[in-house]
Amino acid sequence: MNESDINFSKPSKYQLDTLLGYFQAGQYIEAEKLSLSITQEFPEHPFAWKALALLLKRTGKINEALIAIKRSVELDPKDNENHYNLAIILQGLGKFNEAEASYRKAIALKPGHAEAYCNMGVTLQKLGKSDDAQTSYRKAIELKTNYAEAYNNLGATLQEIGKLEEAELNFRKAISLKIDYAEAYNNLAVTLKELEKLDDAEINYIKAISLKTNYFEAYNNFGVTLNVLGKLEEAELNFRKAIALKNNYVEAYTNLGNLLFEKGDVLNSIDCFKKVIKLNPNYIPTWLNLFYPLQVIKTQKLSKEDYSLLFDVHTSSKYTQITKSILKYRIKDRLNRGSFSSNNSLKEVFSMFASDESTFIKNTNSPSSELIKPALPKKITALLHFGRSGTGLLHSLIDNHPEVSTLPSVYFNEFFDHFIWKNIIAGGWEEMANRFTTLYPVLFDASSADPIHSGYKRFVTNIGQKEGLTKVGINRDEILSVDKEIFVKELKKLMNCYNYLDAFTFFKLIHSAYEITLQNPKKKDHIFYHIHNPDAFAQLNFLRLAPNTNWLIMVREPLQCCESWIKKNFEDNNYRAVVNRIITMLFEIDNPIFESKNSKGIRLEDLKKNPKKTMQALCSWLCIKENDSLYEMTAQGKKWWGDPASPDYMNDGSNPFGNISIKRKLGSVFSESDQFIIRTLYYPFSVNFGYIEENLDQFKKDLQSIKPMLSKMFDFEKKIAEQNKIGHTKFMKSGSYLYLRSALIERWNTLNKFNTYPNMLTPLKIN
């Protein structure tokens, strides 16, 4: 700002020099008093208001600083620094939309303002505009090539969306420009941990902490890596150090709670989570992680006080309220499968969903009365997996049916998660179509390495390549693609026929726009949704929005299926993953969503051995006509060669009805003793689906035989303990071990009471 251009009376040079001297000497109280005095003497002078705003901000008086800087902007709206400072203050107050607007005004006045671009990137990131944030950081770097902070911030954005290799390069560039950049070392270490370069991550955490000894975030992150490395005692020390530096650090308390659970200190684990709830009831990871220790101790009957502290706590976030109700439902459900109590808590979840007004978005441009709403598909079938049971195969056979619309692969298994819809509607109605394409770039180019959402703030990269969709067609030289521009145009056209949209209607519109873009001439009345393995929020939200859904589950002989699914984790000695998969399968066979719903299980063995009769039965259930396409593996109508992750990919993968997978012998993970226990727990399911002959008397004897065996180590657990060099006594105290036992005992109790699993999935009848 050139003060000679302003015709207002202004402070003397002495006043301004004194103010500057106070500021440079760090005498902020004196500087604030003087600047306040100057604004009172010269209220029409913008420079004094600007100085006052900066001082108020520095001394933590952020709301007063906002008033001062707004006054300065009002007096001199052409001053780039005024708008820039206003944006920084708004950003600090969490007013990100207003901050973005002020940054853009600052940049319009000074296009070469690198710092404005860099800070605007932070705001855009907070607004969920990841692509725009990256563009802003890259512009800052273009303007200022040695801008370490911009490289670091760009790396953080890339890290957040799962572009880890690119993030690593940017963090290393930031460090090369600023060798003592503790934050960049920390961010680099986080990325290296995600890339499974654990030793390198450890080195960089140590460097970050050496540069900044009170760096509580680095201590916390270091603890996470040490936990993965199996250095539990060191990990605990780092979490406690982080908490000592910041006593309200909810992330560190949550990580400590998880660590204590893994060490088997279940009650202290819950105490950590209670502490987080008291500090910040809206911190979602705590509600998600609480399930495991509560599952372990719920048979001990928590006191009313314990439940009150966990479930009756007030929270302002509707998402948190829903997440909390889902936790409550999951805890009660497993304990009361088939009872009124379980069904009642599911109704509570749906009631909580229904009270969330953000599930709808209003069309800001009222549709013309002349527009007729499109005829959307009326039927929907959702395909769930059951371990490794061939859902990809069935999906590929349904693909290309003239009556059925289906999107490729499992891209959309978490579509009904809170964060997906929140991101889609974040920019308002006009941006919804484009924001959808940025969330799912792989739909438009299967070779895209860009990540897609996979549960709570998790992402998966290169999914098109992993699913074999970059080598389709007769010669395996085609890549699945959809014309993005045409798709967006068609989707917007369909959207504009509606006053309001919810996630399910939008999902239907996506299918309609997809079919139009691919120039499929026939209107399709049936959506086949490969929902696969959604988290609890996504699955229950979808069930609420689409209550008339047909549920289809691919099943396979349970021991063979389970062993195949856990084999890779077993070989990696990843015990927690093995436990989660075993339990997931055991509780999927009587999932409450099947209760009073149109749901069927289709055996992989039937599909392999009798494809004609099986497909005819499936067509009858789906109310579609039999078609030649049902006997060909395709993706988007192009020949699909199978799942590259399948152990049979090279030998039998391209043959839809090959039988190698269903002939695989047991024993690669489970010993005969392990098999006896698990087979007994699956008895009702195996009888129901024809895998074994019914023998109720023998089953009752076997059930009593396995009861004492449940408290002892499985043989596969002994192998994992030996590989990880953990003694049996210590291994049996771990949280994952206790979690598995609690779930197995619940399954045993249900069988002992009913001799079956009430509301169990029923098989598709084949003539």
Q: CA–CA distance from 281 to each of 275, 287, 599, 744 (Å)?
A: 9, 9, 37, 31
**Which H or E run includes 391?**
helix 391-398
Q: In the chain, pLDDT over 90 holds for what percent of residues?
A: 67
Question: pLDDT tens, 681-693?
Answer: 999 999 999 999 9
**Which H or E run includes 648?**
none
For the segment 521-536, the average pLDDT, to the nearest whole number, is 92
Using a 10 angstrom Cβ sphere, with 0-12 exposed, 13-18 middle and 19 or more buried, the burial of residue 692 is middle
Question: What pLDDT sits at residue 14?
Answer: 66
Question: pLDDT tens, 109-129?
Answer: 999 999 999 999 999 988 878
For the segment 344-359, the average pLDDT, to the nearest whole number, is 82
- Backbone phi, psi, residue 743, to 5°: -70, -40
Query: Among 305-319, 407-421, 487-501, 568-582, which stretch is predicted with the lowest mean pLDDT?
Result: 305-319
Whether the pLDDT of residue 8 is over 50: the answer is no
How far is it, in rounded angstroms, from Cα 562 to Cα 581?
8
Structure-token match 């607007």, residue found: 101
650 vs 214, residue with greater confidence: 214
CB 446 within 8 A of CB 469: yes
Question: What pLDDT sits at residue 638?
Answer: 96
Question: pLDDT tens, 150-161?
Answer: 999 999 999 987
Question: What pLDDT sits at residue 370?
Answer: 60
How far is it, in rounded angstroms, from Cα 485 to Cα 469?
21
Q: In the chain, pLDDT over 70 holds for what percent of residues?
A: 92
List the structure tokens of 704.
């009593």
Whether the pLDDT of residue 5 is over 50: the answer is no
For the segment 479-491, the average pLDDT, to the nearest whole number, is 97
58 pLDDT band, cuts 50/70/90, is: confident
Question: What pLDDT sits at residue 2?
Answer: 42
* DSSP 8-state assignment for residue 475: T
Question: pLDDT tens, 22-42?
Answer: 677 776 677 777 777 777 777
For the segment 333-362, the average pLDDT, to the nearest whole number, is 76
Structure-token match 């609480």, residue found: 290
Question: What pLDDT sits at residue 333?
Answer: 75
292 pLDDT band, cuts 50/70/90, is: very high
Polymer length of the chain: 767
Q: Where are the domains of the chain?
A: 248-355, 360-549+598-663
341 pLDDT band, cuts 50/70/90, is: low
Report domain 248-355's class: mainly alpha
DSSP letters spanning 314-381: --S-HHHHHHHHHHHHHHHHHHSTTSHHHHHHHHHHHHHHHT-GGGEEE-SSPPPTT--------EEE
Helix/strand/coil percent split, the chain, to 5: 60, 5, 35
Residues 6+ apart with CB under 8 A from 168: 155, 188, 191, 192, 195
Whether the pLDDT of residue 494 is over 80: the answer is yes
CB 154 within 8 A of CB 134: yes
How far is it, in rounded angstroms, from Cα 433 to Cα 485?
10
Question: What pLDDT sits at residue 340?
Answer: 47
- Amino acid at position 441, single letter: P
**550-555 vs 404-405, strand pairing mode:** unpaired
Burial 233-263 (b: 16+ CB within 10 A, else e): ebbbebbebbbebeeebbbbbbbbbbbbbbb
How far is it, in rounded angstroms, from Cα 740 to Cα 731?
12
Question: What pLDDT sits at residue 527?
Answer: 97
Question: What pLDDT sits at residue 276?
Answer: 93
Beta-carbon count within 10 A of 701 CB:
11
Question: pLDDT tens, 203-215?
Answer: 999 999 999 999 9
12 pLDDT band, cuts 50/70/90, is: low
Question: What pLDDT sits at residue 1?
Answer: 39
Instruction: Show contacts of 263-269: CB within 8 Å, 24+ apart.
Output: 263/232, 263/236, 263/733, 263/734, 263/735, 264/733, 264/734, 264/735, 264/737, 264/738, 266/293, 266/296, 266/297, 266/735, 266/738, 267/297, 269/293, 269/735
For the segment 330-342, the average pLDDT, to the nearest whole number, is 66
Query: Among 73-87, 112-126, 504-518, 663-677, which stretch is predicted with the lowest mean pLDDT?
Result: 73-87
List the structure tokens of 151.
């490289």
**550-555 vs 379-384, strand pairing mode:** parallel
Q: What sign does the dihedral 639-642-643-649 (CA atoms) show?
A: negative
Q: How many helices (H) and strands (E) does the chain have?
A: 39, 11
Burial 3-22 (b: 16+ CB within 10 A, else e): eeebeeebbeeebbebbeeb
483 vs 767, residue with greater confidence: 483
Question: What pLDDT sits at residue 133?
Answer: 93
List the structure tokens of 156.
């953080």
CB 120 within 8 A of CB 143: no
Question: What pLDDT sits at residue 4?
Answer: 42
Q: Integer distance in angstroms from the first to the last C-alpha of the chain? A: 85
pTM for this structure?
A: 0.86
Question: What pLDDT sits at residue 32?
Answer: 72
54 vs 293, residue with greater confidence: 293
**Residue 504: which of 361, 690, 693 has the closest Cα?**
361
The three-point CA angle 633-636-640 to 5° equals 30
Question: Rounded mean pLDDT of the chain?
Answer: 89
Question: What pLDDT sits at residue 309?
Answer: 56
Question: pLDDT tens, 618-628?
Answer: 999 999 999 99
Question: pLDDT tens, 393-422?
Answer: 999 999 999 999 999 999 999 999 998 998
For the segment 250-261, the average pLDDT, to the nearest whole number, is 97
* DSSP 8-state assignment for residue 666: S
For the segment 170-198, the average pLDDT, to the nearest whole number, is 97
6 pLDDT band, cuts 50/70/90, is: very low
11 pLDDT band, cuts 50/70/90, is: low
For the segment 623-640, the average pLDDT, to the nearest whole number, is 96
- Backbone phi, psi, residue 466, to 5°: -65, -30
For the segment 154-173, the average pLDDT, to the nearest whole number, is 93
Whether the pLDDT of residue 521 is over 80: the answer is no
Query: Among 289-298, 328-337, 429-438, 592-601, which stretch is predicted with the lowest mean pLDDT?
Result: 328-337
490 pLDDT band, cuts 50/70/90, is: very high
List the structure tokens of 175.
């460090």
Whether the pLDDT of residue 303 is over 60: the answer is no
For the segment 510-534, the average pLDDT, to the nearest whole number, is 94
Query: Among 208-212, 338-342, 699-703, 728-732, which stretch is predicted with the lowest mean pLDDT?
Result: 338-342
How far is it, in rounded angstroms, from Cα 88 to Cα 102?
9
